[in-house]
A and B are shown apart, each in its own frame.
Chain A
């Protein structure tokens, strides 16, 4: 059969963007991808000239593409990059991506710090959970975010760049609506959180669909590890992901619209939400906390008891 052609140049297409009904070849897809990456950084004022950026580098496709694109961007917008990897201690899963993370940081000449649950929390995620994986995402999320924040701060980073993509953002918006936790939605993207111990997060892939991150990685020869976290099946996010992907197939552009609705509401509610973005200081460790003590310390107490 004759190959489908690029809507821009007539070369063989590699992707069809259903939400704009456009075919793109490898060259035009890469151009579009990189242009959107840069415009997202600009739109949210994510990076200032000379910023020291800690990149959360799991070694999965999203964080690896993020590091590559930031490294490319640093040619035009000078910034210092440092990579941080958290080894949660998930047997048969993290080892492969850890190898990719090490290789990628070395290839780009980026300083790389690896921290682990085992060393920094006292137990691997597997040991914390034992046979019951149902709370995996709660423990993993809180402890990983805590370690990333502490390590980024220790490294003197101005910002912490995360590989969250459009799918992650749309899922987070829906999950928090479904759980009636509007304050958490506002904290996901809102860069207004100010706290001396908190390293502000940036998410330059915010407007990029996850599938496009994978295709971009493949087009650039970036290795993708095709493995799912063994605890993913317990996650509420997994159900939301499935539903959103089915909606996207039926109504292309759904994920963009979910994020767009959230951003519009966020803008409209700017004055009203100031309270949600104020963080307290944990009475035990001094880290940012939404209550008297941070979730990290509460979990450490549970793990040690």
Chain B
């Protein structure tokens, strides 16, 4: 799995859904959106080997 958090590549082994991945990353689900293979995806989506996952922070103070 290729993983990017706010554009930065991260190295992490994960199999399961996106919610569990976000927990592993210590990211609050309410503050990010996730693209799976280039498309917005619900956190219930399963991810695995060969997938590209992008976690993008969208909730900011200001």
Cross-chain contact A16 with B40 (CB below 8 angstroms) = no
Cross-chain contact A226 with B62 (CB below 8 angstroms) = no
Q: Taking A245-B30, A248-B30 as contacts, is the C-beta distance between A226 and B42 under 8 angstroms?
A: no
B14-42 interface bits toward A, Cβ cutoff 8 Å, 1 = contact, 0 = none: 00000000000000111111000001111
Q: Among the listed A12, A209, A229, A249, which residue makes an inter-chain contact with B61, where contact means beta carbons less than 8 Å apart?
A: A229
Give the nearest-CB partner of A246 in chain B.
B28
Complex interface: chain B residues within 8 A of A246 (CB): 28
Is B47 in contact with chain A by the CB < 8 A criterion? yes
Is A188 in contact with chain B by the CB < 8 A criterion? no
Q: Among the listed A13, A167, A227, which residue makes an inter-chain contact with B59, where contact means beta carbons less than 8 Å apart?
A: A167
Cross-chain contact A219 with B40 (CB below 8 angstroms) = yes
A122-160 interface bits toward B, Cβ cutoff 8 Å, 1 = contact, 0 = none: 000000000000000000000000000000000000000
Question: Which A213-251 residues have a C-beta within 8 angstroms of B?
Answer: 214-215, 218-219, 224, 226-229, 231-233, 235, 237-238, 241-242, 245-246, 248-249
Cross-chain contact A228 with B60 (CB below 8 angstroms) = yes
Complex interface: chain B residues within 8 A of A14 (CB): 39-42
Give the nearest-CB partner of B36 in chain A.
A3
Q: Among the listed A15, A60, A214, A233, which residue makes an inter-chain contact with B42, where contact means beta carbons less than 8 Å apart?
A: A15
The size bracket of the interface on B is: 20 to 34
Complex interface: chain A residues within 8 A of B52 (CB): none
Give the nearest-CB partner of A219 in chain B.
B40
Cross-chain contact B62 with A93 (CB below 8 angstroms) = yes
How far does the Cβ of A185 sit from chain B's closest Cβ, in whole Å? Answer: 20
Is A23 in contact with chain B by the CB < 8 A criterion? yes
Complex interface: chain A residues within 8 A of B46 (CB): 1
Sorted from nearest, which 8 A-B pairs have the closest CB atoms? A232-B61, A229-B62, A16-B42, A214-B58, A245-B30, A228-B60, A1-B46, A14-B40
Binding site for B on A (CB under 8 A): 1, 3-4, 12-16, 23, 26, 60-61, 93, 167, 209-211, 214-215, 218-219, 224, 226-229, 231-233, 235, 237-238, 241-242, 245-246, 248-249
Given A15-B42, A229-B61, A249-B28, 12 new contacts (CB under 8 A): A14-B41, A210-B59, A211-B30, A211-B31, A211-B32, A211-B58, A214-B59, A215-B40, A227-B62, A228-B62, A245-B31, A249-B30
